Amino acid sequence: MTHRARIRPLARRAALTAAFGALLVPAAAGTATADAAKKKKKSPVVTSVRPMDAFIGETVEIRGRHFLRGRNRNSVVFKRDGGRAIFVKADVGTTKLLRVKLPAKLAPALIVRDGVAVPTRLRVRVLAAKFGKSFTSLRRSPLVGPEKPPAPPVPPASQPDGDCDADGLLNRVDPDDDNDLLGDELEAQLKLDGCKRDSDGDAVEDGYEYKAAQDVNDDGYHQDPASYLPYPSKRPYPNPLFADAGTDYDGDGLTLIDEYSLWLNHGVRSLDNLLYSDGKQYSRDIDANAYDKHMDFLAWAGPAGYGAVLDVDRDGTTTDIERYYFDVDYDGKLSDDERDEDADGLANWVEAHGYLQSAWWTARYEKEKPYTIAYAGTELADHDSDGDGVRDGADDQDHDDYTNISEQSRRLVAGETSGWTFGRDAGPSWVRPIEPMKSDPFSSEPRYAWVQPFNPCLPDMYSRTCARYPSIADPYPPFDTETPVFNVFN
C-alpha cells in the first residue's frame, strides 16, 4: 500500500507536465501562423474598371487581386490629377472583385467648365489589408460624369400644355420644346428626347452633337459646297444618344466636350457653320498672321508690363518662330486646337490636354519625377485661371519668373525648328530652319532649354521658389540622377 501511494503522485505529476506541454504547442503554433499570415498580406492591385464611362449614382466593378471579402471592408480612392483623394467604401468585396456606387461626394473632383461639371478622368487606388502601391494609369482610369438628371415623368408628347424649356411658350406651339436648336419633328425622327436639351446626359446638347455628326460625315466632294451629307443615323458620331463627351472625333486633339465648351464660350449659339466643331479640324479659315485673339492678347500684354513675353529664348529679339509659336505645324492657318479662344496667349490644346497640364509632362518625360508641389494647370476657356489679373500665357504657374509661354516648349525656348511643311508645297515666310540647340554643357552661350512649367527648379535651380533643400530620397530634376546633364544650359 505504501509503495502504491508513492507511485501515484509521481504519475500524476508526469501527466500534468505532459498536458501543459501539449497546451504550449498549439499556442506557439498559433503565434507562428499569425505571424506568417501577417507577412503574407499584399498590396491590392487594380487590373480593370468597368464601365469606363460612368456617372455619379451608378455602380462600377473593379477587378484585381488582394482585396478583402465582405461589405464595406475595402475603400476605393478616386483622384483627379491635381485634385485631392476621395475615399469611398466598396459595397461588395471579394478577393478579386469590388462593387462601388459612385457617391455624390465625388462631384467636387469633376472639372467645371462654364459653370458645368464635365466628365473627368479619375484615377483609382484600393485600400484593403494594405494600401495599393499606386493609382491606375490614365488608360485604366474611368471617365466619371455628373449625376444624370432625372427623366421627365411623362413623355413631352403627352404634355402639349407643358413648357419643357420654360421659355413661356407651351409645347404645342413651341417648334423646339427643349431649346436644343433641333425642331420637335426632327427630334422625333432621331428618337431623341424632345423635352431634354441633352438626351444622353453627357453635358453636350443634342443640336451641337447632331451638327458635329454632319460635319464628320461631310466627305468634302459635293458639287454644292454648302450642302451636307445626311445625318449618319446608323453610325451617329458624334452621337446625341450616347455619352461620348470625352471622344475626339475629328482628331485635332480636342474632345467633343472641349469643342462644345469653346462653341458656347464664343457667344454665337447657332448650328449654322459651328464656330468650333468636333467634326472639323479647321472649323474656321483663320490666317495666323492676323489672328484677332492673338492680337487681343498682345494688346493686353504691352500695357500690362509683359511686352517681351514672346522673347522666349531671352536673347533680346523676337523672331518669327517666336511670334507665330501657336501655329505648331507652320501652315499659316490655325486649326481649332491652335486657336486661342480665351485670348490668353495659350493655344486651346495646350490648355486642355497639353503643356499647361502637369499630366502631359509626366507622360512625356516619365523619368523626370514631379516637383513636391502639385501646381494647378490653366483652364481652357478662362483667360485668367487663378484670378490674379494676369492672363495665363504671361502668368507663371510655378512662380519661378519664367512665363507659361516660355515654359511650354523646350524646343521653342532653345530656338530650334525643323522647318516642317507637312507635305505642303511651301510654308509661310517664317518657316525656315535655324541653328539647332547646342548639346555642349560647357557652352558659354546662355541657353534655357530645360523648362518645365510645374517645376520651379527648371530651368533655374536658384529661382525664388525652388526648394533650397531638395529631397534626397526621391529627387526631382535637376537634382535627380535620371535626366542627362546636357539638358542644363544656364
Within a domain: residue 158?
no
Q: Is 0.85 surpassed by the pTM of this model?
A: no
**Strand blocks (E) in 261-337:** none
Residues 19 and 49 in one domain: no
The model's pLDDT over 148-173, given as tens digits with 9 standing for 90+, comes to 887 655 444 437 778 787 778 888 88
CATH number at residue 80: 2.60.40.10
pLDDT of residue 238: 86
Residue 105 vs residue 449, higher pLDDT: 105
Domain co-membership, 312 together with 435: yes
Convert the pLDDT of each residue in 72-91 to its tens digit.
999 999 999 999 999 999 99
pLDDT greater at residue 489 or residue 373: 373
Same domain, yes or no: 279 and 295: no
Confidence band for 426, pLDDT divided at 50, 70 and 90: very low
Mean pLDDT (whole number) for 302-323:
88
Model confidence over 361-408: pLDDT tens digits? 988 888 888 999 999 999 999 999 999 999 999 999 999 999 999 999
pLDDT-based confidence at 410, cuts 50/70/90? confident
Q: Are residues 261 and 334 in the same domain?
A: no
Domain stops at, among 223, 249, 284: 284
pLDDT at res. 165? 76
Q: Are residues 295 and 226 in the same domain?
A: no
Residue 230 has pLDDT above 70, yes or no: yes
Q: Are residues 124 and 272 in the same domain?
A: no
**Strand 143-145 with 75-79, pairing:** unpaired
Name the strand (E) or helix (H) holding 127: strand 123-127
Q: What is the mean pLDDT of residues 131-158?
A: 79
On whether both 260 and 401 belong to a single domain, the answer is no
Closest CA to 205 of 104, 111, 339, 114: 114
Q: For residue 369, what are the contacts with CB-CB under 8 A and spacing of at least 6?
A: 474, 475, 476, 477, 480, 482
Using one digit for the tens of pLDDT, what is the confidence trace for 30-69? 555 555 555 678 999 999 999 999 999 999 999 999 999 9
The pLDDT, as a whole number, for residue 429 is: 45
The answer to whether residue 230 is domain-embedded is yes
> Average pLDDT of 13-26?
50
> Is residue 28 located within the same domain as residue 76?
no
Residues in a beta bridge with 126: 76
Q: Is residue 320 part of a domain?
A: yes
CA–CA distances in Å: residue 164 to residues 148, 184, 206, 231, 240: 17, 12, 15, 25, 18
Read off the pLDDT band of 13 (50, 70, 90): low
Are residues 50 and 100 located together in one domain of the fold?
Answer: yes
Mean pLDDT score, 331-345: 95
Residues 338, 461, single domain; the answer is yes
Quote the pLDDT of residue 12.
Answer: 52
Residue 16 has pLDDT above 60, yes or no: no
Least confident of 148-157, 207-216, 244-253: 148-157
Q: Reply yes or no on whether the pLDDT at 28 is more than 80.
A: no
Whether 117 and 232 share a structural domain: no
Q: Is residue 175 part of a domain?
A: no
Containing 88, the helix (H) or strand (E) segment is strand 86-89
Contacts of 33 (CB under 8 A, 6+ apart): none
Residue 34 within any structural domain of the chain:
yes
Residue 404 lies in a domain: yes
C-alpha 185: how far from its chain's center? 37
Whether residues 390 and 302 share a domain: the answer is: yes
Mean pLDDT of the chain: 82
187-201, 208-222, 336-350: least confidently modelled range? 208-222
Task: Tell me which residue range forms the domain holding 453.
Answer: 289-490
How many percent of the chain have pLDDT more than 70?
79
Confidence label for 231 from pLDDT (cuts 50, 70 and 90): confident
Query: Could you tell me the pLDDT band of residue 123, with boundaries at 50, 70 and 90?
Result: very high
pLDDT band at residue 415 under the 50/70/90 scheme: low
In a domain, 75, yes or no: yes
Q: How many CA atoms lie within 13 A of 348 on its CB side?
A: 25
* Model confidence band, residue 343 (pLDDT cutoffs 50, 70, 90): very high
- Label residue 2 by pLDDT band (50, 70, 90): very low
> How many domains does the structure of the chain reveal?
4
Q: Is the pLDDT of residue 331 over 60?
A: yes
Instruction: Calculate mean pLDDT across residues 434-441.
Output: 41
Is there a contact between 132 and 44 (Cβ–Cβ < 8 Å)? yes
Classify residue 335: in a domain, yes or no.
yes
